[in-house]
Amino acid sequence: MEIAGSLGAMFEAGDEGFETARQIWNGDIQRRPAVIARCTGTADVLAAVRFARDRELPIAIRGGGHAVAGHAVCDGGLMIDLSTMTGVRVDPLAGTVRAQGGCLWRHVDHESQAFGLAVTGGIVTHTGIGGLTLGGGIGHLMRRFGLTIDNLVSCDLTTADGEFLVASVDEHPDLFWGLQGGGGNFGIVTSFKYRLHPLGPTVLAGLLAWPMAEAGDVLRFFRDFVADAPDEVGIMVNLRLAPALPIFPQELHGRPIVALIVCYAGPMSEGEEVLRPLRQFKAPVLDTVGPKPYVAHQAMFDPAYPHGRHYYWKAWKLPPLTDGAIDVIVEQAAAITSPLSAIPIFTLGGAVARVDDDDTAFTGRSAAHDVNFVASWLPDDPEPERHKAWARAAWEAMRPFAHGVYVNFMSDEPVSHVQVAYGERKYARLAALKSKYDPSNVFRFNQNIPPAS
Ligand SMILES: Cc1cc2nc3c(=O)[nH]c(=O)nc-3n(C[C@H](O)[C@H](O)[C@H](O)COP(=O)(O)OP(=O)(O)OC[C@H]3O[C@@H](n4cnc5c(N)ncnc54)[C@H](O)[C@@H]3O)c2cc1C
């Protein structure tokens, strides 16, 4: 098979490179597309969409390939692979960056930080900007600079008809609204343009850890600390067994810990003062907080989430933590079944909460946190179902405290759960938008919003 007008590589079953090209981040997902089109740019993407349309092939879009449910790869359809579209150009005078749709966060951070600039990105640098941005984008800098989508200026987009358009507040504003949180439902973004902010390149950042036995106290202290923390404080919690990584001293490897991960997006001396209570309330077993390149902090979690390992997760957004919610989190941390599983908790608020919920498709800006029950295990682990069952049970136990769900942290929930992510009113608006821009649901391998009709 050949895609007319395409420069990029194409793979079918049996071709050299096919088996590698169909792999995504989550090794638990194994699907076999009929064709993989590795696009070199917008021209290839236009050609690939027209090719699929003519043959009525369903399309899966591979950005960074990190959607835990494996939306980047389908059985039997066309996988449009953007992974080599990683060009980035910073305009330091305008304070913007333009990045191709297959970039990972490490590409954007690398170029932006050369100019001492940054935009809110994900906390693992091998995550794609494509899926992460289109779902909203939460990360270390969000309380200071807002979600990734709050900094989105425009998108170059290939539609389900194989046409090109630009979406921004001035051009196709309805579509632009939908792209700010509505996921990959409306087209293929070949280029994102973001506003940048001065940051670093050195920031005050790092990790503080305590034994898991202290988790209740740490979480209660954390709750009180974030209640009036300034926007500059990016802070998250992680509960797990300390992995055997260089950041942890050997004596901690395999020990259950509760950690606070901080990144101060402001002047270093001010940050020392603001973060001091974290160091004083109870002596940590590990304190790595200090001046650090922002790109190094961004990469801190990278080795803990390698490609090819098996993953399954469930998540909720949460209001400020109550004692009851803390008790559940502590119980579920104690019940973890795999040494590789973890419970990361993000902290929203600040600039995220100051944007009106109706301004973007992203929903639930008043949430204080996002808790994720991440099950992870090695490919040869004999008990995958046990690890998945832990994530499901923890998620159910947390349900009474839930304040919605972040669409990018959903996995195999039914389509009805997508409505939970957006709420009834916004979901209806998104479904109407889908009818306008993708009435045949060509882009359906995602947290799908079927057309209204
Ligand atoms: C290790 C890890 C860490 C994470 N950390 C964070 C975090 O800190 N903050 C956060 O907000 N989220 C985070 N996530 C969740 C992440 O936002 C989603 O998994 C997201 O879907 C990843 O995007 P991707 O491009 O890598 O994924 P893919 O699997 O390639 O794509 C996911 C979805 O987006 C669509 N898509 C991707 N690129 C495009 C494009 N260019 N145009 C149109 N549609 C596209 C695809 O169709 C698919 O439906 C993390 C995920 C992982 C696995």
Rounded CA separation 428/421 (Å): 12
Residue 189 Cβ inside 6 Å of ligand 1? The answer reads yes
Q: Which atom of ligand 1 is nearest to the CA of 64?
A: 26
pTM above 0.95, yes or no: yes
- Eight-class DSSP state of 251: G
Those residues with Cβ within 8 angstroms of residue 331's Cβ, 6 or more apart along the chain or in another chain: 397
| pLDDT confidence of residue 2 | 85
Distance 67 CA to ligand 1 centre (A): 5
Distance 71 CA to ligand 1 centre (A): 9
Assess whether the C-beta atom of 143 lies below 6 angstroms from ligand 1.
no
62 pocket-lining for ligand 1 (C-beta < 6 Å)? yes
**CB of 82 closer than 6 angstroms to any ligand 1 atom:** yes
Phi, psi at 40, each rounded to 5°: -100, -15
Q: Which residues in 368-445 belong to E strands, given as ranges? A: 369-377
339 C-alpha to center of ligand 1: Å? 25
Spatial distance between the Cα atoms of 229 and 308, rounded to a whole number of angstroms: 37
Whole-angstrom distance between the N-terminal and C-terminal Cα of the chain?
Answer: 34
pLDDT (0 to 100) of residue 120: 98
Residue-level pLDDT at 98:
98
Q: What is the mean pLDDT of each run of 10 residues along the chain (453 residues)?
A: 90 96 98 98 98 94 98 97 98 98 98 98 98 98 98 98 97 98 98 98 98 98 97 98 93 97 97 96 96 98 97 98 98 98 98 98 98 98 98 98 97 91 97 97 96 88
In DSSP terms, 194 is beta-bridged to 97, 152
C-alpha to C-alpha distances, 247 to 144, 208, 240, 275, nearest whole angstrom: 26, 11, 15, 20
User: Which tokens go with 385?
Assistant: 């179902």
Span from the CA of 47 to the centroid of ligand 1 (angstroms): 23
Closest C-alpha to ligand 1, atom 23: 131
Nearest to 292 by CA among 414, 233, 229, 205: 205
> What pLDDT does 453 receive?
74
